[in-house]
Structure 1
Amino acid sequence: MSKSLIRIAPGALTIGKPLPWDVFDSEGNILLRQGYVIQTNSQLEQLFERGRFKPRKIERPKEETFEDLRQRNPFAEYGDLLTTLEVTLNAITSEDPTAQKRLLGLCRMLDKTCQEAPDASLALVHLYSISPTIHEQILFYGILCHFIARQFGLEEKRATVLTAAALTANLALVPVADQLNASNTVLTDDQRAVIRKHPARSIQALTSAGINNKLLLRIIAQHHEQADGSGYPEGLSGSDILPEAEILALAERYVAMITKRAYRNRMNITEARKLIATLADGKFRPAIPRSLLQVLGDHPPGMLVRLVNNEVGVVTRRADRTRGPFVKAIFGPRGNRYNGTFERDTSLLEYNVRAPEEPEIMPSMDFSMLWGFRS
């Protein structure tokens, strides 16, 4: 196994963020599990010096596709999804002849993961939301679009095209997005121009790579239009805007609300849900914000909450018609960290959710274990 490991590049890990994959030493011995949160600069430096990870082997797509029968574990797939996304976007910008096949393969991979493990897939959006990279943000857009589209009632073929649009609409922003998010100054005119032109530039990159699906390109062209006519680039309004474009716009807005940027703090999820509820008034078709709220529930997977008994835990399963959300308690009432985890049915009075917990640094946890996946 040690031969398949590669060194961690500086910049790939960040203090205060969960590890996206298991980290090994040069001999293949595990150092830290996925979900561990780096706490100090010295710890970060040691990982850059000693740490290795196992990358996914990205192969050239073959003419014959095969059915992937593996059980989907979104936490184990997370690093693979990000790597595949980066490779796919690079293939598009370099006009690689495999770009379209790569994009279709990535869409199938993401859709299958969301279908087989919906709560765990939604949890990725919230567990990694503190300071995500541009590739993480794009992945979150794809996950949210998958669920909103189906709740809204979009037919399957159109929903799949929407996933592809979510993964490529911000292609032109990739080189500058992390820099923009890290800036705590007012945007310059040049930066604003880059942002306003990114739908057209993303479309240009896609067509140059031989990706010409008309619906895909229309979704991207319209995803910053608004129902009241105040959007760009065409100032479209009402039914002139595709519902797919509005779904993508709402996914982007929700991710922006719950993520931290250098120039502002993030909203907690409860506040974000309240704001989404107001967006049905003129900015979106009313059914689209409602669909997102139904997908999330009052307490979406991956959200940290404090219970009535003062335990702190992670929501692992959304509420259904008979029971509240299920929570895995990770901290005891006195703030002590549990050695394991304890499932709490929050429909029971003593385990009712009292308030959201929104830490600036996510506590370390073994995501696969919390959701019952085999590591």
Structure 2
Amino acid sequence: MADLIRIAPGALTIGKPLPWDVFDGDGNILLRQGYVIQTNSQLEQLFERGRFKPRNIEKPGEEVVEAAGNCNPFADYGALLNALESTLEAITSGDPTAQKRLLELSQRLDNACEEAPDATLALIHLYSISPTIHEQILFYGILCHLVARQFGLDNKRASVLGAAALTANLALVPVADQLNASNKVLTDEQRAVIRRHPTRSIEALKAAGITNPLLLRIIAQHHEQADGSGYPNGLSGADILPEAEILALSERYVAMITRRAYRKRMNIAEARKLIATLADGKFRPAIPRALLQVLGDHPPGMLVRLVNNEVGVVTRRAVLARGPFVQAIFDTHGNRYNGTLERDTSMLEYNVRSPEEPEILPSIDVSLLWGFRI
């Protein structure tokens, strides 16, 4: 099939869910999105035989039209990452379509958060074990869109924040994956690159004709801290935009739950506890509270063990007195269900006993788990 593209080495990782369906050269499906590669031999076979079907989500110069209620974040995940990469490349190369690409991508992400918030939030927790820099940036955008609503930002400011989340780390893109993969102490030169990245990202945006003052201020301030200990200008208190604090906290949460070569990742329960402490001096108290409300006690995409010993995936956050809701994938004896069974964890027999956060996730057909049909 002409529309299928060969999988490039490095695009897939052992222990990480597939970001899209994988086909053979004739268009027959080999593996569904969400399948977890277990061995090097499986990986090599996929690089040899595997193809994927790119999904274009925007064309500069055309309007993006989304059918209401037709948003499947899992099906769009690979396309969102491709669009992010091409958008950042357009900015750095001074492409005249860069601003339009950025606005369309930010709007697409906002639509996903509006139409399918639980599924969109689940992307972060399903793909957070060892994300690439582009995945991390996409996660920042998702969290910023969701937290902005919870915090009460108006639509215009929330939209600018979403665009800032996608571009604030532009200057780190060439080196971020290398830094995350290193288990050595950062050199002075590497630390300088990190500290300069807000300024360099702003310079690249301006050169591409993206000059929205609020967007640039958010980026300039997203490493400042309310107690004055941040950089580059040591701002404090109300001198820091709330949008900048939302972006900073989103980045911090993703870093907490992400594995790096130099440290283990924090489990979600530990990360939530640490976020709760950040209301004391580091951030406006309402911003950590807003993030915790967005996540809930058990965020979508998290694996949990229930009191009846089933293991499942959280698919929906709590609504009023019900939930969160879990799709059970392993029975009480550890055997895989043929399909899934929804459990309301507000019922005593299905209460959450403990988180299950393995370094290698079980294979999950994510679209089906959330009830999407492709």
Is this a same-fold pair by TM over 0.5? yes
CA contact (8 A) 1:22 1:33 kept: yes
Quote the offset at 1:65 in angstroms: 2.1
Q: For residue 4 of structure 1, give the secondary structure of its aligned residue in structure 2.
A: coil
Unaligned runs of 5+ in 2: none
1:60 CA displacement = 4.3
Corresponding position of 2:346: 347
Report how far residue 334 of structure 1 moved: 1.2
Structure 2 match to 1:194? 193
Give 2:176's aligned residue.
177
2:65 to 64, 67, 92: 67
Q: Which position in structure 2 is the counterpart of 1:140?
A: 139
| TM-aligned CA deviation for residue 290 of structure 1 | 0.2
Q: Any idea what SS the aligned residue of 1:354 has?
A: strand
Q: Secondary structure at the match of 2:30?
A: strand
1:1-375 alignment, distance < 5 Å: 2-57=1-56, 60-62=59-61, 65-69=63-67, 71-375=70-374
Quote the Cα distance in structure 1 between the aligned partners of 2:151 and 2:104.
24
Residues 254-308 of structure 1 show CA distances to partners (whole Å, capped at 9, x for unaligned) of 0000010000011110010000000000000000000000111101100100000
- 1:25-70 CA distances to partner (integer Å, 9 max, x unpaired)? 00000000000000000000000000000112476411x5253226
Secondary structure of the structure 1 residue equivalent to 2:121: helix
Quote the Cα distance in structure 1 between the aligned partners of 2:348 and 2:326: 14
Alpha-carbon shift at residue 161 of structure 1 (Å): 0.2
Task: Please tell me whether the aligned partners of residues 60 and 98 of structure 1 are also in contact (alpha carbons under 8 angstroms).
Answer: no
Give me the whole-angstrom Cα distance separating, in 1, the residues matched to 2:176 and 2:298: 29
Conserved 8 A contact 1:152-1:287: yes
Please tell me whether the aligned partners of residues 329 and 339 of structure 2 are also in contact (alpha carbons under 8 angstroms): yes
Amino acid aligned to 1:112: N
Question: Structure 1 segments of 4 or more deviating over 4 A?
Answer: none
Of 317-326 and 123-132, the range deviating more from structure 2: 317-326
Give the Cα separation in 2 of the matches to 1:53 and 1:189.
41
Superposition deviation, residue 320 in structure 1:
1.9
Change in CA separation of 1:316 and 1:282 when aligned onto 2, cut-off 3 Å:
same
Distance 1:47 1:243, change over 3 A: same
Q: Distance in 2 between matches of 1:66 and 1:46?
A: 36
Counterpart of 2:25 in 1: which secondary structure?
coil
Over the aligned positions, Cα root-mean-square deviation in angstroms equals 0.9
Partner secondary structure for residue 2 of structure 2: helix
In 2, are the aligned partners of 1:33 and 1:366 still within 8 Å (CA)? Answer: yes
Secondary structure of 1:251 counterpart: helix
Distance in 1, matches of 2:178 and 2:331, equals 39
Q: State how far apart, in whole Å, the 2-side matches of 1:184 and 1:305 are.
A: 30
When the two structures are superposed, what TM-score results if normalisation uses the length of structure 2? 0.98
Instruction: State the AA in 1 paired with 2:330.
Output: F
Q: 2:362 and 2:174 mapped to 1: Cα distance?
A: 30
In structure 2, the CA distance between the partners of 1:66 and 1:7, relative to structure 1 (3 Å rule), is: closer
Contact 2:224–2:231 (CA under 8 A) maintained in structure 1: yes
1: CA distance, partners of 2:346 / 2:194: 45
CA distance in 1, matches of 2:106, 2:64: 15
> What code does the residue aligned with 2:177 have?
D
SS in 2 for 1:343: strand
The TM-score with structure 1 as length reference comes to: 0.98
Q: CA deviation at 1:136?
A: 0.2
Partner amino acid for 1:184? N
Mapped to 1, the partners of 2:32 and 2:370 lie a distance apart of: 15
Residue type matched to 1:21 in 2?
Answer: W
In 2, the alpha carbon distance for the partners of 1:337 and 1:292 equals 33
- 1:328-353 Cα deviation digits (max 9, x unpaired): 00011111111110000111111000
> Which residue identity lines up with residue 290 of structure 2 in the other structure?
S
Contact 1:317 1:325 in 2 (8 A): yes
